[in-house]
Amino acid sequence: MKNSISITAMASVSALGSGLETIWSQYSNDIPYLKVKDFGDFKAWVAAVQTPELAKIEKLRQEDIKYKDLDASVLYAIYVSRKAVAQARWDNKHNFGINIGSSRGATSLFEKYHKEFIETNTSSTLSSPTTTLGNISSWVAHDLQTEGPEISHSITCSTGLHSLLNGIAWLQSDMTDTFLVGASEASLTGFTIAQMQALKVYAKNKDPYPCKAFDLQKKQNTMVLGEGAAVLCLENGNTDNAIALVEGIGYATEVLKHNISISTDAMCFQKSMTMALKDIVPSEVDVIVMHAPGTIKGDLSEWNAIKKVFGDSVPFLTTNKWKLGHTFATSGLLSIELAILMLQHQEVIHVPFITKQKRPKRIEKILVNSVGFGGNAVSVLLCKK
């Protein structure tokens, strides 16, 4: 990286609610915010956006007649983007860029319109424009009245951190000074859950902690899907209003041997973490927020990669999927949020069913990992302002 990048604001909505004070309070207890949802023919664990936030998002839908037919993934993104931009004190004079990605996109609407077509052999007028992936960034730009570049993309579960990489690339190229990056997912549908179950990775246990993310002793896969959106405001350099700095970024893609799995030692993570660290001595990293999806192979391979890179200097390890589920594209951004909150509060979040680790004396640098189907890993090194 040519220079540090400032994160000047962040906002999210997830099973933990919305608002940084609320979210930190939810992190400070050992309660998982997961529940069983009835999908008609079956039931499954999910991490859904809470009712109070859904009511606010429904109110947003009613604000503009054009918002009435938008997918929830778009509305989630608008909701959190308004909050972040207000916090950063941006207005449309900034003409900031927007890159908000999604792994699944307009899942509910796509399934609704596909069902309609199967049953009637016709399709509604708005079926195409409301299900394109570009909807998310373009509607956020419309709502915030910015004229900067608008980008949407999908690269499975590391989509959110790829949005961050892309925003940084624009800033470092000096083509813009401000960029809003993020991800949004609203895919808790029966079909989506069934797809994960078909992969044999979904949680079946009735344990107090249905998702045993980072439990290397588990005997079955325990992934639980969540939903939500998260965005960050990025600005060039070390600004006075920064809440954290991006000090390093890394990325890598593995040669695939299977459609969904990465290698035993997660070579993609080894490369992405090493790139993000660059000249930083591994022992300087205080915490790693792991991707840790709650699957046997996924959690273990990331752990093996961490041992390869850090050796005897493995930092404090944590993850949030046991608490708010795996939110696909949004997961990496929610991990960034957790990292920033730990930097601000100088407290680590312990995974309650994992053997207690030695807490760092101070928290200055946190590494955040994310990876998706296809072995596309991203690692981001954050440091305290």
| Pair 309, 363 in one domain | yes
Which of 174, 206, 236 terminates a domain? The answer is 236
| Pair 147, 255 in one domain | no
| Pair 271, 224 in one domain | no
Kindly tell me if the per-residue pLDDT of 162 is higher than 60. yes
pLDDT, tens digit, 9 for 90 and up, residues 339-366 = 999 999 999 999 999 999 999 999 999 9
- Segment 31-48 mean pLDDT: 96
| Pair 177, 276 in one domain | no
| Pair 184, 252 in one domain | no
| Pair 202, 142 in one domain | yes
| Pair 227, 314 in one domain | no
| Pair 87, 216 in one domain | yes
Which of 205, 236, 267 terminates a domain? The answer is 236
Confidence of residue 261 (pLDDT cuts 50, 70, 90): low
- The whole-model pTM stands at 0.97
| Pair 251, 377 in one domain | yes
Is the distance from CB of 224 to CB of 36 less than 8 angstroms?
Answer: no
For position 300, which CATH number holds? 3.40.47.10
| Pair 163, 309 in one domain | no
Share of the chain above pLDDT 90, in %: 91
Q: What is the pLDDT of residue 257?
A: 65
Which of 236, 262, 281 terminates a domain? The answer is 236
| E strand residue ranges, the chain | 5-14, 17-18, 35-38, 43-47, 97-101, 150-151, 178-185, 225-226, 228-236, 244-253, 287-289, 316-318, 365-372, 376-383
One-letter amino acid of 175: M
Task: Quote the CA–CA distance of 52 and 337 in Å, as a whole number.
Answer: 21
For the chain, how many structural domains are there in total? 2
Cβ within 8 Å of residue 26, ≥6 positions away: 16, 17, 33, 323
| Pair 289, 206 in one domain | no
- Gyration radius of the chain's alpha carbons: 20
| Pair 185, 308 in one domain | no
What residue numbers bound the domain in which 349 lies?
245-383
pLDDT, tens digit, 9 for 90 and up, residues 173-232 = 999 999 999 999 999 999 999 999 999 999 998 889 999 999 999 999 999 999 999 999
